[in-house]
Amino acid sequence: MKGLKWLATVSAFALTVCTVPALADVKIEDIVNDAATTNDVVSNGLGPQGQRYSTLTAINKENVANLAPAWAMSLGGEKMRGQETQPLVKDGVMYITGSYSRMWAIDVKTGREIWQYDHRLPEGILPCCDVVNRGAALYGDKVIFGTLDAKLVGLDAKTGKVVWTKEIDDFKAGYSYTAAPLIVPTKAHGALLLTGVSGGEFGVVGRVEGRKVDTGELVWSRPTIEGHMGSLNGKPSTMTGDKVNASWPGDLWKTGGGATWLGGTYDPDTGLAFFGTGNPGPWNSHMRPGDNKWSCSRIAIDPETGEIKWGYQTTPNDGWDFDGVNEVVSFDADGKKLAATADRNGFLYVLDRTNGAFQAAYPFVNKITWAKEIGKDGRPVYVPENRPGDPKAGKDGKKGASVFAVPSFLGGKNWMPMAYSQQTKLFYVPSNEWGMDIWNEPVAYKKGAAYLGAGFTIKPIFEDHIGSLKAIDPLTGKTAWEYKNRAPLWGGVLTTAGGIVFFGTPEGEFKGLDATDGKELFSFNTGSGIVGSPITWEQDGEQMVSIVSGWGGAVPLWGGEVAKTVANLNQGGMVWTFKLPKKLAAN
């Protein structure tokens, strides 16, 4: 953490540098209907369902090759690291977050900064996987985001001045916040701000919270680990799970993990919010026999009360750090209300989103070792010899038997969001083909210390590629096409009715592929690796596309042998916005 000590000197400020366009308040209807509107992007995922699909067609297969930069803006300074944000756009203003808990408002016509906010970060923050931030939320006249010292900050959208600040939890215990908040409608409380917590590697207990948007005041809290008590309106509500120790031994549930570090999605059809939960603590699964609910799970929450309506666990008794946090994307097919989620464990799951009933699971990466398949009951069929060994069974009790596991703990798919096309009916999944040597070690919980009980080294499994963008049919599991990339893919995906799939690579290329067959139609080098998520919207009759470039994230920090493949990539921080030249757009 030595490289972060200078953060204590960073002060919070908001600086107005140009005229602010006229802004209208963002209403809850704007958020719920975001997927159907084209002149703004007011939610993470281009709609709370998280499909990341745009109905715009001005940029299409025939002309996307002519896409050109309209403007670019540097994030400046020395605070580069990974830029994993997804921009938001409203009334001619773009809002982006950046590494080290920063935010900007940008004039989308010129690319000029309107204001910048730098959060004051204290000594001793404990970010697990780079100092990233994945985006903000817009509501009313405010823009809201979370910080690395586990706070929520509500800013005036016009000026960048702080309206309110709330502490999520104690950053010294390992808590932090990196996700884009989710805003949903409720009858009892109006619009609620839903947030999770980061810190799964430090023995924290995950939870989802609902807060009033105007003040940040807590309405309800729902822990994700069995045995912990929730709250509603300042009073205890119900316990998570049936009883204490139902699937956890001893007192391990008290530091059980299950961090909700990626945030959630919302389905207006069912009125449910979907959150994923992370790995159990510690990684050493021999210390905690049982399913360890609700770690490595997808849970459906009633936003009115914070009650869990259903839960589905992808990796019971996880022994490989296969977090279950990945986004739950709502879609309809065969007359059913379904949801899909691509897990770190290498399987794409399809669930009935009304009740969580298991429909199907398909492997989307190669050479999976930890499980033979997902059974008809929705539970994995484990390969016992491919679970890291119990240290107690070793000669000295200090290290269990090492195994080579696929995928690695960074996952078949990690945080980077996939996209679903209503046109092709395919999911576009940014995946990685890699494995790891992993072994278990003894460990005891200590506040603010890593709580792993495991060692690992990540290794590639193919010579020519690690990253793989796959177009997958969720009803059959078949891969329609695959785009292979030498370096790991670590950024989000966008697809459009124009038949394009947009995404970026660590090598810095922002690409547009044919959504039907994967043929490359467009590529532009942004100068730094891309780990952010692209958006598109309509501005003054023209379709715009934006991506934030800036290499970083977990791969260079945790990637073992794989990290060598990206060791020479440049960090950066740039917002790139593209459009078609007018004479071409008119054709």
SS (H, E, C) 502-515: EEECCCCEEEEEEC
Helices then strands, each counted (H, E), the chain: 4, 40
Burial class (CB in 10 A: 0-12, 13-18, 19+), 582: exposed
Residue type, 435: G
| CA dist., res. 499 & res. 488, Å (int) | 24
Whether residue 69 is preceded by a cis peptide bond, meaning omega within 30 degrees of 0, is no
Q: Is 321 a catalytic residue?
A: yes
Whether residue 294 is preceded by a cis peptide bond, meaning omega within 30 degrees of 0, is yes
155 vs 87, 142, 194, 215, CA distance in Å? 16, 5, 17, 11
Could you tell me what percentage of the chain is helix, strand and coil, using 3-state DSSP and rounding each to the nearest 5?
10, 40, 55
Strand 467-472 relative to strand 427-432, pairing: antiparallel
Whether residue 122 is preceded by a cis peptide bond, meaning omega within 30 degrees of 0, is no
Contact indicator for 472, 348 with CB cutoff of 8 Å: yes
| CA dist., res. 495 & res. 56, Å (int) | 10
Q: List the chain domain ranges.
A: 2-200+217-232+244-585
377 vs 32, 73, 100, 207, 480, CA distance in Å? 33, 51, 43, 27, 27
- Per-residue confidence (pLDDT) for residue 24, from 0 to 100: 76
Residues 6+ apart with CB under 8 A from 295: 206, 224, 225, 256, 257, 258, 277, 278, 279, 280, 313, 318, 324
Structure tokens at 540: 């003054």
Residue showing tokens 């078609």? 580
Residues 6+ apart with CB under 8 A from 376: none
Structure tokens at 302: 């009633």
| Single pTM value for the model | 0.95
| CA dist., res. 547 & res. 84, Å (int) | 10
Helix (H, G, I), strand (E, B) or coil at 323: coil
Residues 6+ apart with CB under 8 A from 583: none
Q: For 445, phi and psi rounded to 5 degrees?
A: -70, 135
Burial class (CB in 10 A: 0-12, 13-18, 19+), 586: exposed
| CA dist., res. 188 & res. 243, Å (int) | 28
Which of these, 144, 137, 184, lies nearest to 42 by C-alpha position? 137
Question: Would you tell me how many other CB atoms lie within 10 Å of the CB of residue 455?
Answer: 16
The partner residues of 185 in beta bridges, in order of sequence, read: 191
Q: Where are the alpha helices (DSSP H) in 10-61?
A: 28-32
Question: Would you tell me how many other CB atoms lie within 10 Å of the CB of residue 60?
Answer: 17
Burial class (CB in 10 A: 0-12, 13-18, 19+), 461: middle
Contact indicator for 146, 84 with CB cutoff of 8 Å: no
Residue showing tokens 């050493």? 284
Question: Could you tell me the sign of the dihedral formed by the alpha carbons of 172, 125, 416, 451, in that order?
Answer: negative
What's the CATH number for 2-200+217-232+244-585?
2.140.10.10
205 DSSP 8-state letter: B
Helix (H, G, I), strand (E, B) or coil at 66: helix
Question: Would you tell me how many other CB atoms lie within 10 Å of the CB of residue 539?
Answer: 17
Mean pLDDT, the chain cut into blocks of 10 residues (587 residues total):
35 45 85 97 98 98 98 86 96 96 97 97 89 97 97 97 97 95 97 96 95 98 98 98 95 96 97 98 96 98 98 98 97 97 98 98 98 98 97 87 97 98 98 97 93 94 96 98 97 98 97 98 97 97 97 87 83 96 67
| CA dist., res. 438 & res. 345, Å (int) | 15
Q: How many residues does the chain have?
A: 587
Contact indicator for 296, 256 with CB cutoff of 8 Å: no
In 369-464 the beta strands, taken as DSSP E runs, fall at 371-374, 380-382, 403-405, 419-420, 427-432, 434-440, 454-460
- Per-residue confidence (pLDDT) for residue 491, from 0 to 100: 98
Catalytic residue among 40, 107, 130, 321: 321
- Per-residue confidence (pLDDT) for residue 220, from 0 to 100: 98
413 vs 7, 86, 254, 408, 491, CA distance in Å? 31, 18, 28, 10, 10
Rg over alpha carbons for the chain, rounded to the nearest Å, is 22
The partner residues of 154 in beta bridges, in order of sequence, read: 144, 164
